[in-house]
Structure 1
Amino acid sequence: MTEQQRTFREGWKWFTDSRYGMFIHFGPYAQYGRGEQVLFREHLDQQEYARQACEWNPAFFDAELWAYTARKAGMKYACLTTRHHDGYCLWDTKTTDYSSAKQAAGRDFVREFTEAFRKEGLRVGLYYSWIDWRIPAYFDGPEKDPEGWAVMKDYLHAQVEELVTNYGRIDHFFFDGVWPRSAEDLDSIRLVERMKQIQPDILVNNRLGLSPEEKAHADGGGGSGDSDVLGDFGSPEHVIEPDQHRLWESNQVTTWRLWGYTNGERWRPADLLLDMLCECAEKGGASGGNLLLNVGPQPDGQLPPEFVERALQIGQWLEVHGEAIYGSDGGNLTEFITYGRQTMKDNYLYLIIRFWDGRPVLRLADLVTPVRSVTLLTTGQKLEFRQEGDVLWIEGLPKERPTALFPVIRIECEGRPETNQWGRERLWTGDPARIADWARSRGTSVYVDGQPR
């Protein structure tokens, strides 16, 4: 890693320390209550959609309340859809009158968002869609309509430059909707260079267009790409897949599928959402591993109560157990899937227990570092323990689950927690010879006693 890369990494440390952010899909599509892509997916009349978009006026939009909720939920940053695929802009842009500032709402929602979230001490991110379903030139491209495409590209670049110039420090920028254009069509690499001239520490995601030259891509469907050239962080959606080349965050919905507000959508329970956060932290390590958890506000601007309820449950859990998530540097040290997940930080190993079995003793295999102390972080109770070789026995656990969500046990070691071969090599992986040796300790035959007949 070069000295410049180390500097960048230090400037981005807030990202890996945060682990948890709020994604906000908000726009006139909320009026339909059928997700953020209703215009395209239902092939609606373009002019009628535009008429309703221009009349949209979310009277109860309160960015300060959004920001307060995000902070109480334990989130450390937020990303707002400034313009989704329908082309409607949530800021006071000079490039078009199709915006919240020029139409019925008469408000610059991006300004209200950035100011309110900074006031709560949260980092600020902006989402921007390359695609605009209203404009034929985007789909005809430079081959079929070179003049129209040139105008379209200038429009896109001008809007992005407005967003990174007019709203103070922007920490995080999320492109989307690149299909069917390439990085060369979009001139996205040059645009990102310009963005970083204006915002030197900004983190830009990897959805910058298919590039034959770079042999990398990041499409609107969340591909991670296979190069560390295009984009600072990977942005898989609906899945938790670590990106081997860069920082990464998993984009997930709180509902079953859709991002924008949807009438009748089913909601995922708080424990499932928390497990996503824990999985991201467990898999993240020093290369990232964040959860960007989405909410689609109601058409009047209020956060859905179902979201708020779940978010605050997770926030209360983080108030007690946050040290196992924030600033953690990965986990999954030993085989622990039969109980839950693990994270680490410095000399600490955290056991995040999804499946509390009510037994007074927990056996943790394959931790080879000497242990100094064990604490049930959930209650602060010091726990008795004994270490026999590479097996740790934790004693005195309560029969009843001490929290409605996941109890956490903190293990303090004498040094960085380390494991053995069994911890490094898991089921279906590693050297099968170790499994043969383990099986041989029983015997070699198919009979109960393992002895040949």
Structure 2
Amino acid sequence: MTIQEPEPVIREGWQWFTESRYGMFIHFGPYARYGRGEQVLFREHLDQSEYASKACEWNPEFFDAELWAYTARKAGMKYACLTTRHHDGYCLWDTATTDYSSAKQAPGRDLVREFTDAFRAEGLRVGLYYSWIDWRIPAYFDGPKKDPQGWEDMKRYLHAQVEELVTKYGRIDHFFFDGVWPRTAEDLDSIKLVERMKSIQPDILVNNRLGLSEEEKLHADGGGGSGDSEVLGDFGSPEHVIEPDRKRLWESSQVTTWRLWGYTNGERWRPADILLDMLCECAEKGGMDGGNLLLNVGPQPDGQLPPAFVERALKIGQWLEVHGEAIYGSDGGNLTEFITYGRQTMKGNHLYLIIRFWDGRPVLRLADLVTPVTRVTLLTTGQELTFRQDGDVLWIEGLPSERPTELFPVIRIECESRPETTQWGRERLWTGDPSRIADWARTRGTSVYADGQ
């Protein structure tokens, strides 16, 4: 029998998250004018006043939230998260807290309103990103001990803005905090703020970038780091890496380019197969505790999505139209050792083989599947494949010599019950009980000579 970790209970209002598996992250703001990423103000130590002046002049005249939402849906994404305010402090909504916003400056538009309305109209879930940090305000960095009054004013400003965002725009499904450093959960009063958010939006999912709690600070070495809490927040939010959070839901945020999140002139783009593999890896590693990909785009300064992004996103969307059942609502995979071919996901009694490396051979050998198989289908073409089981080895026959899709072919294996594996499937290379490897090696013999004798 397969030994499985206890699965966390997922609230009814949060089930959409694990069923979705795939969302769009949108980093958009006046920094796009510079074309050097979303953090150009800090990383290049620009003049604050000059940056603010240019930000107030910024006007994305071709911003079309409806086109963004249509593209996201065609790309197979199920939700989206927009940067309402990044670290530069510029707000994309009509806020009462400052005039440094798209509503009060050149655009004269509430871009958050347009975003939320358009994405809901396409049937997508809505997420909002908000940065704690504001590089313009000294009190954030001086902190509560050095500038008590300045800090209190700053904290009221932050809380008021978040409350606006969860009050004025209908149902918000997903909320992504960022930029905690150097503040703590106690400094920010983040627990109290999240409680207030949930009193307004009971089913909202909030990420874990809430600052370290007192419990975590007892074990921390050198402070808050990124502010990713192990005990606070509804979902983990690793970025640039795919690392499962076994304690809760999680999503990996990744760029479509090589590194930067905001629009960047000359940035290199990752190919569609690499981006798709990220999605498959998230689904494979997910289990019922999460496993989503939040794939980023940095729109152009004029508001249009970069053509290179659209091309890749739609290519993945076409793949999902055929193979989406292996991703959406999947509950993990990686059942057996399959890295020499690709990845696996599972859903109910189905095991999906996502073939990254198509070798053109007519037969595929899958070891360590012990559950009786009833049917095997090449999902990519709909072709039913012949198969035979010999103990815990499944032989799949009749595969075409040519790769049947530009991206990853998928084979669906239907079993009599939930697919289960052997010790070899549970314990992989460099892990598990080494005695099983000794017994396997002993079948050849024990000596260093070719015949083992």
Normalised to the residue count of structure 2, the TM-score between the two structures is 0.96
Query: Which structure 2 residue ranges, 5 or more long, are not aligned?
Result: 1-7
SS in 2 for 1:12: helix
2:187 to 185, 208, 217: 185
- 3-state SS of 1:315 partner: helix
In 1, the alpha carbon distance for the partners of 2:269 and 2:215 equals 42
8 Å Cα contact 2:75-2:316 kept in structure 1: yes
Aligned-pair CA distance for 1:245 = 1.1
Residue 311 (structure 1) aligns with: 313
Q: Indicate if the aligned counterparts of 2:184 and 2:224 stay in contact, CA closer than 8 A.
A: no
In the TM superposition, residue 11 of structure 1 has moved relative to its aligned partner by: 1.3
Structure 2 contact 212–224 (Cα < 8 Å) conserved: no
Q: AA paired with 1:226?
A: E
Kindly provide the CA deviation profile for residues 31-90 of structure 1, in whole angstroms up to 9, marking residues without a partner as x: 000000000000111111001000011000000000000000000000000000000000
Listed as ranges, the matches of 1:194-273 within 5 Å are: 194-215=196-217, 224-227=228-231, 230-273=232-275
Task: Output aligned runs, 1:28-427, within 5 Å.
Answer: 28-215=30-217, 224-227=228-231, 230-427=232-429
SS at match of 1:405: coil
- Hey, what's the Cα distance between the residues in 1 that align with 2:387 and 2:56? 65
Shift of 1:432: 0.7
* Structure-1 separation of matches of 2:21 and 2:79: 9
Distance 1:222 1:429 in 2: 30
The Cα shift of 1:261 comes to 0.1
Residue type of the partner of 1:55? E
CA distance in 2, matches of 1:444, 1:213: 52
Specify the SS of the correspondent of 1:40.
helix
Superposition deviation, residue 194 in structure 1: 0.1
CA distance in 2 between partners of 1:9 and 1:21 (Å) = 20
Distance 1:160 1:87 in 2: 13
Cα distance, 1:220 vs structure 2: 9.3
- State the one-letter code of the partner of 1:108: D
Letter in structure 2 aligned against 1:49:
Y
Deviation at 1:212, TM superposition (A): 2.4
**Alignment partner of 1:258: what SS?**
coil
Determine if contact 1:59/1:301 at 8 Å carries over to the other structure.
Answer: yes
Three-state SS of the structure 2 residue aligned to 1:29 is helix
Aligned equivalents of 1:386 and 1:152: distance in 2? 67
CA contact 1:346–1:416 (8 Å) conserved in 2: yes
Q: SS of the residue aligned with 1:17?
A: helix
Aligned to 1:11: 13
**1:443 alignment counterpart:** 445
Asked whether the equivalents of residues 332 and 343 of structure 1 are also in contact (C-alpha less than 8 Å), the reply is yes
**1:281–1:289 CA contact under 8 A, matched in 2:** yes
Q: TM-score, normalised by structure 1?
A: 0.96
What's the CA shift string for 1:364-408, capped at 9, x where partnerless? 000000000000000000000000000000000000000000000
Asked if the contact 2:210/2:229 (under 8 Å) is kept, the reply is no
Instruction: Describe the SS at the equivalent of 1:81.
Output: strand
Is the CA contact (8 Å cut-off) linking 1:26 and 1:296 kept in structure 2? yes
How many aligned positions are there?
443
CA deviation map 1:178-215 (0-9, x unaligned)? 00000000000000000000000000000001222344
CA root-mean-square deviation: 1.3
TM-fit CA distance, 1:223: 6.7
Q: CA deviation at 1:225?
A: 3.6
Counterpart residue identity of residue 185, structure 2: A
Which residue of structure 1 lines up, in the alignment, with residue 3 of structure 2?
none
Q: Is the partner of 2:351 in helix, strand or coil?
A: strand
Distance 1:412 1:213 in 2: 46
Counterpart-to-counterpart distance in 2, 1:222 and 1:368? 43
Q: Quote the Cα distance in structure 2 between the aligned partners of 1:105 and 1:222.
A: 32
How many angstroms does 1:226 deviate by? 2.9
Q: Distance in 1 between matches of 2:41 and 2:226?
A: 21
Distance 1:316 1:98, change over 3 A: same
Please give the secondary structure, in 1, of the residue aligned with 2:286. Answer: helix
Q: 1:273 to 1:222 in 2, by over 3 A?
A: farther
Does the C-alpha gap of structure 1 residues 16 and 276 become closer, same or farther in structure 2, counting only changes over 3 Å? same
Q: Is the 8 A contact 1:274 1:314 kept in 2?
A: yes
Identity, % of aligned positions: 88
